């Protein structure tokens, strides 16, 4: 029976596939006593599920290559070792044989026991390994519960899989995409979470906050998802399938049209040159940035090098990766952001940090780097060595005060001096910039801008910190508003301050790649955007239809608007004046 579920669209695109329930917050646990004559069959059923989990991990390991293999190999190997652990499996078999538990209930009991053991450990790194236990048990539970729909088997057998889960770690998305997963449906999450950002980078349709998904969808159900509208259709009807086929045709045609813009300059309708840079974190992103005609890399995230591994990457490994990025851009500028981790992510890296009650406001970004200067020196040395192969800028996250930038500049100079002494050729000047993502930095910018060579605005966190709204909390999604009057004022002030000081200012948050906000940002004076390369051509097309001079006339009225309703009215008037194709006020929000 056709069923429509709603969530929030986090990554655009449509996908048709078989539902694959993975790591849900709850599984159907059969707690009925197991009759004695069913014990052997139940054990065989569990063995098959464990074997399925092993095969999946083995296949995943084989599919990985290059940088991604280095990133997640240890994570996969650890799970494989757990599945081969006799203590884990024999304990489950004993619960079935002696306790007369069914397989799903035995798995749950074994998971709870092991998780309790890990939670009691003093070492924060070992304590964090409880997540591995939960993931492994969940993978076996999924193998137990996988059932095929007889009605749709013929069609479902010809399509791939769509992950349906409670949450998914960003580090899991890459291998899932490489294995051919077509899309993701999550019962929780936010469209500005790190996982959602990565899904957009992978062109993986994603729907978050689909609260009823785990209860309404079963393994192997045929589902159709629309990452634009946030709709999930279970057992789609013929009309739904026809709409999907139309979308496929239109998407192909649209891609061909946009491809024609790849070699063109980015200019507004009234001739103002705009720089479109790309955000990147993989070699695939670099290739797409070049193919889309990006002006350079405006934000290269380095966190992936540190995640899901037991040892920190050394200088040589980091250098090789950064050099590959610089060479890949063929002489175009590359902005490399220093490590942007906190206690909420460090446990999945080689770093061991104390737990924090509120890691979003804790030791993260530049604070972490300055507390671990040797860690920072290693990364800066690797970046400086890579800068010999093309123009490189260093971007520092989570800056709040000028003192932090002064200390970072001192470290950068020391590293450059040491490298020259060791015989390395280092450019005379590598620019050092700050990421403006904390309100204090935006407000204090006039007093510290002399310490900066350039500025990058990170709107994802700036909105979060300005509004005191956790961007990963789907219950607060309606309050996470980049068009809040306070956010707009901080954006306008930051851009104006940079321009007065003659410093380059770019915006590399999600707003930059959302063409519904393009006219607004141009009106505020922005001329340098950085976004995922997959949306760069769309933004270039949008800019070409806009008269910037007309938009700028409406900026003051926009910033005076005291409420969201007034802002929407001002946006409507602004779009009508400055764009050849009007964008409604509703479309201009997110």
Distance CA 48, CA 51 (A): 5
Distance CA 544, CA 526 (A): 15
Sheet holding 8-11: strands in order across? 3-6, 231-234, 222-226, 14-21, 161-165, 183-186, 206-208, 8-11
Residue-wise over 282-291: b if at least 16 C-beta within 10 A, else e? bebbbebbbe
Report the candidate in 565, 466, 572, 458 with the shortest Cα–Cα distance to residue 505.
458
Question: Three-state DSSP class for 136?
Answer: helix
327 burial level (CB within 10 Å; 0-12, 13-18, 19+): middle
Set 23, 194, 484, 517: catalytic member? 194
Distance CA 342, CA 337 (A): 15
> Chain centroid to CA 565: how far?
30
Distance CA 291, CA 288 (A): 5
Set 23, 277, 400, 508: catalytic member? 508
Number of Cβ atoms within 10 Å of the Cβ of 292: 23
Question: Three-state DSSP class for 31?
Answer: coil
Contact by Cβ (8 Å): 224, 236 = yes
- Look up 508 and say whether it is catalytic: yes
- Measured between its terminal Cα atoms, the distance across the chain in Å is 32
- Look up 484 and say whether it is catalytic: no
Q: Looking at the annotation, which residues are catalytic?
A: 194, 508
């Amino acid at each position: 029976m056709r069923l429509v579920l709603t969530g929030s669209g986090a990554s655009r695109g449509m996908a048709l596939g078989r539902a694959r329930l993975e790591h849900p917050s709850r599984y159907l646990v059969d707690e009925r006593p197991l009759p004695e004559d069913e014990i052997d069959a139940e054990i065989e059923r569990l063995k098959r599920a464990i074997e399925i989990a092993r095969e999946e991990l083995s296949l995943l390991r084989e599919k990985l290559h290059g940088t991604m293999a280095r990133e997640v190999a240890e994570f996969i190997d650890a799970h494989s070792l757990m599945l081969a652990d006799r203590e884990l499996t024999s304990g489950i078999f004993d619960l079935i044989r002696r306790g007369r538990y069914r397989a799903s209930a035995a798995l749950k009991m074994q998971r709870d026991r092991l998780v309790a053991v890990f939670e009691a450990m003093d070492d924060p790194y070992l304590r964090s390994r409880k997540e591995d236990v939960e993931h492994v048990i969940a993978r076996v539970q999924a193998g137990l519960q996988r059932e095929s729909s007889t009605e749709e088997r013929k069609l479902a057998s010809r399509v791939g899989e769509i992950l349906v889960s409670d949450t998914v770690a960003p580090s899991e998305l890459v291998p899932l995409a490489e294995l051919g997963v077509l899309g993701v449906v999550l019962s929780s999450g936010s469209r500005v979470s790190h996982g959602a950002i990565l899904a957009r980078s992978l062109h993986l349709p994603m729907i978050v906050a689909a609260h009823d998904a785990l209860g309404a969808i079963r393994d192997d159900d045929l589902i159709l998802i629309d990452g634009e509208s946030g709709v999930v259709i279970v057992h789609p009807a013929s009309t739904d399938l026809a709409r999907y086929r139309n979308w496929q045709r239109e998407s192909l045609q649209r891609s061909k049209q946009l491809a024609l813009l790849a070699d063109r300059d980015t200019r507004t309708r009234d001739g103002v040159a705009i720089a479109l840079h790309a955000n990147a974190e993989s070699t695939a992103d670099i290739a797409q940035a070049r193919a889309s005609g990006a002006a350079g890399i405006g934000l290269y995230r380095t966190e992936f090098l540190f995640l899901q591994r037991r040892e920190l990457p050394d200088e040589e490994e980091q250098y090789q990766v950064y050099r590959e990025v610089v060479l890949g851009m063929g002489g175009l500028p590359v902005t490399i952001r220093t490590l942007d981790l906190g206690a909420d992510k460090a446990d999945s890296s080689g770093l061991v940090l104390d737990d924090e009650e509120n890691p979003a406001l804790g030791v993260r970004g530049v604070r972490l780097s300055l507390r671990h200067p040797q860690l920072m020196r290693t990364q800066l040395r690797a970046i400086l060595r890579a800068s010999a192969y093309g123009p490189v800028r260093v971007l520092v996250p989570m800056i709040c005060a000028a003192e932090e930038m002064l200390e970072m500049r001192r470290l950068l100079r020391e590293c450059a001096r040491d490298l020259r002494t060791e015989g390395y050729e280092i450019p005379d000047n590598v620019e050092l910039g700050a990421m403006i993502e904390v309100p204090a930095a935006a407000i204090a910018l006039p007093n510290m801008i002399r310490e900066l060579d350039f500025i990058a605005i990170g709107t994802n966190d700036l909105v979060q910190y300005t509004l005191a709204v956790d961007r990963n909390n789907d219950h607060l999604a309606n309050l996470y508003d980049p068009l809040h009057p306070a956010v707009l004022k901080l954006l306008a002030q930051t851009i104006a301050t940079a321009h007065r000081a003659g410093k380059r200012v770019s915006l590399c948050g999600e707003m930059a790649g959302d063409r519904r906000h393009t006219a607004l940002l141009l009106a505020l004076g922005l001329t340098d955007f950085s976004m995922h390369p997959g949306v760069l051509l769309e933004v270039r097309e949008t800019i070409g239809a806009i008269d910037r001079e007309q938009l700028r006339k409406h900026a003051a009225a926009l910033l005076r608007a005291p409420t969201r309703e007034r802002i929407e009215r001002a946006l409507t008037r602004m779009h009508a004046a400055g764009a050849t194709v009007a964008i409604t006020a509703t479309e201009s929000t997110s």
